[in-house]
């Protein structure tokens, strides 16, 4: 299964980025291969529609869950229609590695 985690940087030591559509990086973590891919968010600076554009990018990667601090109001129905689960994590101190470790247990 592939999980997307919003990240403030491009390493496992980076912290969770609370903003889904405007995060700095998307981490695509594969729970089967244990591989991690860091994608710079190409939509973080656009005027509007960053969330919906980000959903399309993440969905194209075959993700089934997204871990972030918050999601915009337009995102939930879109993710529901794509059968992608939202996991809200209110802890900016968690590193990407901490979250990966939680997913593995």
DSSP codes of every residue in the chain:
-EEEEEESSSSTTSBBPSBSTT-SEEEEEETTT--EEEEE-TTTTSSS-HHHHHHHHHHTTTEEEEEESB--TTHHHHHHHHT-EEEE---TT-BHHHHHHHHT-
2-103: which CATH number, 3.40.50.2300, 3.30.420.130, 2.30.30.90, 3.40.50.720? 3.30.420.130
pLDDT at residue number 88? 95
pLDDT at residue number 92? 79
pLDDT at residue number 2? 97
pLDDT at residue number 86? 96
Profile the chain (105 residues) by mean pLDDT over runs of 10 residues: 97 96 97 96 94 96 96 92 95 92 90
What are the tokens at 62?
A: 């075959």
pLDDT at residue number 5? 98
pLDDT at residue number 36? 97
pLDDT at residue number 91? 84
pTM here is 0.95
pLDDT at residue number 42? 97
pLDDT at residue number 77? 94
């Amino acid at each position: 299964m592939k999980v997307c985690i919003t990240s403030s940087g491009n390493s496992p030591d980076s912290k969770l980025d609370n903003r889904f559509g405007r995060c700095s990086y998307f981490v695509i973590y594969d729970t089967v291969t244990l591989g991690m891919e860091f994608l710079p968010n190409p939509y973080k600076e656009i005027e509007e529609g960053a969330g919906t554009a980000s959903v399309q990018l993440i969905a194209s990667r075959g993700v089934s869950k997204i871990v972030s601090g918050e999601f915009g109001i337009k995102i939930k129905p879109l993710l529901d229609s794509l059968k992608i689960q939202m996991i809200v994590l209110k802890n900016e101190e968690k590193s990407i590695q901490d979250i990966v470790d939680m997913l593995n247990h």
